[in-house]
Amino acid sequence: MTERTAQTGETAATPLHMIDLIRKKRDGARMTAAEIQFFVHGSARGIFPPEQIAAWLMAAWLRGLTREETYSLTVAMRDSGEKFNPAHLGRIAVDKHSTGGVGDKTSFLVAPIAAACGVAVPMISGRSLGHTGGTLDKLESIPGFRTAMSLPEFERVLESCGCSIISQTPNIVPADRVLYALRDRTATVESPSLICASILSKKLAAGLNGLVLDVKTGSGAFMRRQEDAEFLAALLVTTAEACGVRTVAMLTDMGQPLGRMAGNWIELIESMQLLRGERPQGSEPLRALSLILAGWMIHLGGRADTPHDGMLKAEAVLEDGTAGRIFLRMVEAQGGDARVFDQMHSFHRPGARRTIEAWESGYIARMDTTQLGWAVQRLGAGRVRASEPVDPHAGIEFHAHRGDWVEKGQPLATLFATRPGLFPEPEELVRTAIRLAPQAPRAVELVSRVWTRTNSEALLRDGIR
Ligand code: URA
């Protein structure tokens, strides 16, 4: 499409105009693939003004998109910029993506585990979003670690380590950069179709053969209600499969932080303990979920007949230290100083720490994990404005978890920040987020359901919300 035809959408047959597309979606009509492509192309190139793009996004949020429209949006966004082609790596390329959580550090485990089992893991990750932490912010707490790399550099790390974790390059899916920033400012983030196209366009641009999705539910998830999360999972799976990528989605519990640590550097401490074969108390759910996700990655990567076999292989390379060595090689290949892992605890240098103790005896009946995530962010682990730096040492160590019995005065959590003046708001958030009660809460499964193409198709058959 030339610049002139992109502005008006003129083709020999049908001229297109952005105002008509807004009206059409506002009135609940279905858009054609060509119209969606016109919208994405003009948005990515800065041809349409932000108010027109935002108006269309709000119309799409209110009216919803059909499965076909969601597919067309995903493909048009994927094709809006440059793409990575992992074909010559000689390994099947599989990635894992989480919809976002608190203390969710499975990427640091599954990437080297799957790589150790012969799968290529080209991982393009994000920064903290809302109350959730960002993989890139965590990695950047390693001195020297570079997440902004060119595609040729990405390729070199993949060739030497089997896995690499980088940020989106300026040219990968430029449409998402424009649309996401507008969604963030116009209350149009929480739309299953817009989330689906945003997540998948970036994953598909990485040229994956397989994808394992970790769709969170519970108090710390973007989609808190089980049925909303299930719908999103099914939509992600069917859309990615329609794009030729073998995909599964696990519905996993985010009703409490995953593991003991939530923050930046402290999440790497916990990950490295597991990569060294240690089994710290409180890290078992993180270890278990990482092995399940990695098992599926290894299976989709053609290195195990079943996900269960994949999980056994994953456990073997975790226990014998192979995955840990690959992780350290990746750190060095991306410019990081891997020696900090020799003195992980002394490298953790928060300016101030404060321990919160149980105010009465009881079971931990509920953890409002969104509130806990905000506490972590406001300790300095996240940012208010996109350009702000984050504090590598900020975060929270949880000493007890949902379902544990605690005695009055027993430590519940330790907060880390640069200075004591930052503690009051996060401390209040933690105190209100944790509910102590005389009865134990009901147990919640770590993985409540696995969505494959077959059951996802069945869920969506009755139409789209
Ligand atoms: N993560 C993304 O990349 N996009 C969304 O819309 C939501 C979460």
- CATH, residue 329: 3.40.1030.10
- Verify that 327 and 353 share a domain, yes or no: no
- Verify that 124 and 255 share a domain, yes or no: yes
Q: In which domain, by residue range, is 290 found? A: 87-172+201-343+447-460
Spacing, Cα 190 to ligand 1 middle (Å): 9
Per-residue pLDDT of 174-214, as tens digits, reads 999 899 889 978 888 889 999 999 999 999 999 999 999 99
Spacing, Cα 353 to ligand 1 middle (Å): 32
- Verify that 30 and 126 share a domain, yes or no: no
Q: Is residue 36 part of a domain?
A: yes
- Verify that 417 and 315 share a domain, yes or no: no
Residue 382 above 90 pLDDT?
Answer: no
Q: Is residue 185 part of a domain?
A: no
Residue 384 above 80 pLDDT?
Answer: no
| Lowest-pLDDT range of 6-10, 166-170, 372-376, 412-416 | 6-10
- Verify that 284 and 360 share a domain, yes or no: no
Q: Amino acid identity, residue 45?
A: R
Q: Is residue 432 part of a domain?
A: yes
- Verify that 284 and 307 share a domain, yes or no: yes
- Verify that 236 and 142 share a domain, yes or no: yes
Q: Is residue 180 part of a domain?
A: no
Amino acid 464: pLDDT: 47
What is the C-alpha separation between 322 and 339, in angstroms, rounded?
17
Last residue of a domain, one of 31, 47, 63: 63
Residue 396 above 90 pLDDT?
Answer: yes
Amino acid 159: pLDDT: 97
First-to-last C-alpha distance (Å) of the chain: 32
The whole-number average pLDDT for the span 253-271 is 98
Q: Is residue 267 part of a domain?
A: yes
CB of 198 sitting under 6 A from ligand 1? yes
Residue 431 above 80 pLDDT?
Answer: yes
Q: For residue 225, what are the contacts with CB-CB under 8 A and spacing of at least 6?
A: 217
Residue 5 above 60 pLDDT?
Answer: no
- Verify that 246 and 333 share a domain, yes or no: yes
Cα 307-300-315 angle, rounded to 5 deg = 45
Strand 94-98 and strand 261-263: pairing? unpaired
Q: Which atom of ligand 1 is nearest to the CA of 180?
A: 6
Per-residue pLDDT of 77-88, as tens digits, reads 999 999 999 998
Residue 168 above 90 pLDDT?
Answer: no
Amino acid 10: pLDDT: 46
Per-residue pLDDT of 322-343, as tens digits, reads 999 999 999 999 999 999 999 9
- Verify that 126 and 223 share a domain, yes or no: yes
Q: What is the pTM of this model?
A: 0.92
The whole-number average pLDDT for the span 300-329 is 98
Residue 47 above 80 pLDDT?
Answer: yes
- Say how many domains are in the chain: 3
Q: For residue 430, what are the contacts with CB-CB under 8 A and spacing of at least 6?
A: 356, 371, 372, 375, 396, 412, 413, 415
Please identify every residue annotated as catalytic: 95-98, 135, 183, 198, 202-203
Spacing, Cα 198 to ligand 1 middle (Å): 5
Q: Which atom of ligand 1 is nearest to the CA of 100?
A: 8
CB of 199 sitting under 6 A from ligand 1? yes
Q: Whose CA is nearest to atom 1 of ligand 1?
A: 199
| Lowest-pLDDT range of 6-10, 65-69, 146-150 | 6-10
Q: Is residue 225 part of a domain?
A: yes
Per-residue pLDDT band for 169 (boundaries 50, 70, 90) equals confident
Q: Is residue 192 part of a domain?
A: no
What is the C-alpha separation between 380 and 207, in angstroms, rounded?
35
Per-residue pLDDT band for 4 (boundaries 50, 70, 90) equals very low
- Verify that 132 and 260 share a domain, yes or no: yes
Strand 261-263 and strand 210-217: pairing? unpaired
Q: For residue 258, what are the contacts with CB-CB under 8 A and spacing of at least 6?
A: 101, 102, 103, 104, 105, 106, 285, 286, 289
Amino acid 49: pLDDT: 96
What is the C-alpha separation between 197 and 350, in angstroms, rounded?
38
What is the C-alpha separation between 397 and 83, in angstroms, rounded?
39
Per-residue pLDDT of 117-159, as tens digits, reads 999 999 998 888 788 888 999 999 999 999 999 999 999 999 9
- Verify that 383 and 411 share a domain, yes or no: yes
Please state, for a pLDDT cut of 90, what percent of the chain lies above it: 86
Taking all residues of the chain, what is their mean pLDDT, rounded to a whole number? 93
Closest CA to 269 of 60, 105, 449: 105
Per-residue pLDDT of 89-104, as tens digits, reads 999 999 999 998 999 9
Q: Is residue 72 part of a domain?
A: no
How far is residue 35 from each of residues 25, 94, 406, measured CA to CA in Å? Answer: 11, 31, 58
Phi and psi for 108 in degrees, rounded to 5?
-70, -20
Per-residue pLDDT band for 15 (boundaries 50, 70, 90) equals confident
Which string of b and e fits 133-164 if b means at least 16 CB within 10 Å?
bbbbbbbbbbeebbbebebebbbebbeebbbb
- Verify that 95 and 19 share a domain, yes or no: no
CATH code of the domain containing 384: 3.90.1170.30
